[in-house]
């Protein structure tokens, strides 16, 4: 689990006397709900838990709970910044370099969850029943996957300037990509389960918007033709999304 670095005011690691360099250490803290002078005088040992915080391992018979964990701090590649990771993985099985590699591998997953939560509007659900909530989550995930499959195949173009060559390409706005795919699915669906009409050639999907009277290429398809049939099979989620 990634935590705030040792210099952050609200970091769990800030009150430990840790070196400002890469390290791989075993630490422990004692969680308690008490606020005695002795506890307050040892901030590197104790962490106070509010009575409003749910923690099943502390009760009247067990007023303290010792938490052991491993902290791995490493420098990011090509940067002077550090990342701090808390884990319970054994040092005998996973070295510091392997922890770093696992973190790099999982970072794309973390970004995907962030996009699913904020870009695909999964911060809140509207249903109350468990089955309906699960349906809504699956619907958002399917919409997210459809949108990013299409966005992945869009060829980024560099902005045009008057007599100047632009160095950087346009970045895809993920939230707008999901918005446009949602709009496309909702406004082009057909009754009876038939998918919308798409004018397809070997390289492009072309969509005509009757509201703006503008046609545009949704995406370029070097090897995407089979995905069209996959896309059509997902149109049953529309009633959930509306």
Mean pLDDT across the stretch 214-229? Answer: 41
Note whether residue 143 is domain-resident.
yes
Note whether residue 124 is domain-resident.
no
Note whether residue 220 is domain-resident.
yes
Relative to beta strand 46-48, strand 23-32 is parallel
Q: What are phi and psi of 13, to 5 degrees?
A: -90, -5
C-alpha–C-alpha distance, residues 238 and 189, integer Å: 8
Q: What percent of the chain has pLDDT over 70?
A: 69
Q: What is the pLDDT of residues 126-174, one digit of tens each?
A: 888 988 988 888 888 888 888 877 777 665 555 565 656 666 666 777 8
Mean pLDDT across the stretch 3-18? Answer: 85
Alpha-carbon distances of 227 from 130, 134, 142, 150, 231, rounded to whole Å:
31, 25, 13, 9, 6
| Residues 138 and 85 grouped into a single domain | no
Note whether residue 108 is domain-resident.
no
Q: What are phi and psi of 134, to 5 degrees?
A: -60, -40
Note whether residue 119 is domain-resident.
no
C-alpha–C-alpha distance, residues 91 and 95, integer Å: 6
How high is the pLDDT of residue 81? 87
State the pLDDT confidence band at 50, using cuts at 50, 70 and 90. confident
Please name every residue paired with 85 in a beta bridge, in sequence order, or none if there are none: 2, 72
Range of the domain at 50: 2-97
Domains in the chain, number: 2
- Structure tokens given for 224: 């995407």
How high is the pLDDT of residue 192? 52
Sign of the CA dihedral running 179, 181, 182, 187:
positive
Note whether residue 106 is domain-resident.
no
Mean pLDDT across the stretch 60-71? Answer: 89
């Amino acid at each position: 689990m990634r935590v705030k670095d040792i210099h952050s005011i609200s970091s769990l690691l800030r009150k430990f006397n840790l070196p400002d360099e890469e390290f791989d250490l075993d630490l422990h803290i004692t969680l308690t709900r008490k606020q005695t002078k002795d506890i307050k005088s040892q901030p590197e040992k104790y962490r106070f838990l509010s009575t409003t915080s749910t923690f099943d391992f502390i009760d009247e018979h067990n007023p303290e709970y010792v938490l052991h964990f491993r902290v791995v701090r490493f420098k990011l590649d090509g940067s002077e910044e550090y990342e701090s990771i808390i884990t319970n993985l054994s040092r005998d099985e996973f070295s510091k370099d392997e922890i770093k590699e696992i973190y790099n591998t999982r970072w794309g997953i973390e970004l995907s969850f962030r996009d699913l939560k904020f870009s695909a509007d999964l911060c809140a659900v509207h249903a109350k029943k468990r089955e309906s909530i699960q349906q809504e989550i699956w619907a958002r995930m399917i919409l997210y996957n459809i949108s990013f499959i299409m966005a992945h195949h869009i060829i980024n173009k560099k902005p045009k300037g008057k007599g100047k060559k632009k160095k950087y390409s346009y970045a895809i706005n993920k939230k707008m990509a999901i918005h446009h795919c949602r709009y496309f699915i909702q406004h082009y669906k057909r009754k009876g389960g038939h998918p919308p009409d798409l004018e397809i050639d070997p390289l492009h999907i072309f969509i005509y918007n009757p509201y703006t009277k503008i046609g545009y290429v949704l995406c370029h398809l070097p090897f995407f033709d089979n995905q069209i049939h996959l896309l059509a099979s997902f149109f049953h989620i529309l009633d959930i999304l509306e």
